[in-house]
Amino acid sequence: MRNSLNNSARGGEPGLDYFRLQLARIPAFRALIRAVECRLISGVELLPPVLDIGCGDGTFAEVLAKEKWFAGIDTWGAGVRQAAARRGYRHVLVASGTHIPFADAAFQTVVSNCVLEHIPDVDAVVCEANRVLRMGGRFVLTVPSHLFPDLLFWSTVLPKVGLRGLGRAYGQWFNRHSFHYHCDSSEQWRERLEGAGFAVESWQYYLSPAAHRAIDLAHYYGIPSLFVNKCFGRWNLGRAAWNFAFPDWWLRRYYEEPPPERGGYIFLVAAKSGEVD
């Protein structure tokens, strides 16, 4: 079952460079993560109508959606307003995944891209996703894995110089800073999904330990982007190729890497089965 989507997921839509498309919109560390997720999710048939739980500012769907997804929801009001101005959705609402404002069986596909880890009552969201899906409909999700805090750059380097406790503290701090309430294993996700009436069709790790260390360092490289965003309302001053030459050279190898045996994130596809544990 694991890695059964690798061949299609690694390819993405022919001719699209998701990494370059994301670099033009968001900081480099996030562009790498989102680009790999675009490639993975593009390998799954997303039958309409599609609901996106945690749509944020809409940049992900803007890059990925071939046709507008039916709806996106998020509790971040400012992000929802930005998403409404982009081309990814027909409808964008301020709403919580724990109380999705749509009828039972309203959707054929539900997507949640690196959102569920930020929600304390994640079980309620999974049950709501099941409720709004039609029988056999797919729940496509990406989340940090249980390895996330341990694979960070400083979490791996500090123990090598005898600072094991400090390395562990760094991983814990990073999770708190990122508002991660859940960094769970594939087994935990399988149990959670099956308990809500899903059957897991496939799962795989993505972003190798080396990629995860690079992402950690790239957070600090991206600090100037915070000031650009605050001053100009966008993450990059321009979309000329030279503006992205260094992050493209540094991080592209991780965008193009094969699926790893271990990784900082997990990609899962589950189908509504109707059988609740």
DSSP code string of 70-97 = EEEEES-HHHHHHHHHSSSEEEEEE--T
Cα separation, 47 vs 108, whole angstroms: 6
pLDDT for res 5: 41
User: What tens digit of pLDDT does each residue of 142-167 get?
Assistant: 999 999 999 999 999 999 999 999 99
Domain annotation covers residue 46: yes
Domain annotation covers residue 277: no
* Helix, coil or strand: residue 121: coil
121 half-sphere exposure, CB direction, 13 A CA radius: 8
Cα separation, 106 vs 162, whole angstroms: 54
- 181's CB contacts (< 8 A; 6+ apart) are 117, 118, 119, 120, 122
pLDDT for res 8: 36
User: What tens digit of pLDDT does each residue of 74-123 get?
Assistant: 999 999 999 999 889 999 999 999 999 999 999 999 999 999 999 999 99
Going 224 to 228 to 233 to 235, the CA torsion angle's sign is: negative
Low-confidence winner among 2-11, 26-35, 47-56, 253-262 (lowest mean pLDDT): 2-11
Q: Which residue has the tokens 């839509």?
A: 13
pLDDT mean over 233-248: 70
Whether the pLDDT of residue 238 is over 80: the answer is: no
Domain annotation covers residue 1: no
Whether the pLDDT of residue 241 is over 90: the answer is: no
C-alpha distances in Å from residue 53, one per residue of 56, 69, 229, 247? 9, 11, 24, 29
- CA 106 from chain center: how many Å? 23
What's the domain count of the chain?
1
Whether the pLDDT of residue 274 is over 80: the answer is: no
pTM, entire model? 0.90
* CATH number for the domain harbouring residue 123: 3.40.50.150
Whether the pLDDT of residue 3 is over 80: the answer is: no
Cα separation, 28 vs 23, whole angstroms: 6
Domain annotation covers residue 183: yes
pLDDT mean over 164-182: 96
Could you write out the DSSP letters of every residue in 123-189?
HHHHHHHHHHEEEEEEEEEEEEBTTGGGSSHHHHHHHHTT-HHHHHHHHHHHHHHTT-S--B-HHHH
243 half-sphere exposure, CB direction, 13 A CA radius: 17
Domain annotation covers residue 59: yes
* Selected residue with higher pLDDT from 15 and 190: 190
Residue 185 backbone class (left: φ over 0; alpha: ψ -120 to 50; beta: rest): beta
Domain annotation covers residue 147: yes
The DSSP letter of residue 114 is S
pLDDT for res 270: 98
Low-confidence winner among 23-32, 158-167, 259-268 (lowest mean pLDDT): 23-32
Computed over every residue of the chain, the mean pLDDT equals 90
Domain annotation covers residue 175: yes
Domain that holds residue 234: 6-272
Domain annotation covers residue 128: yes
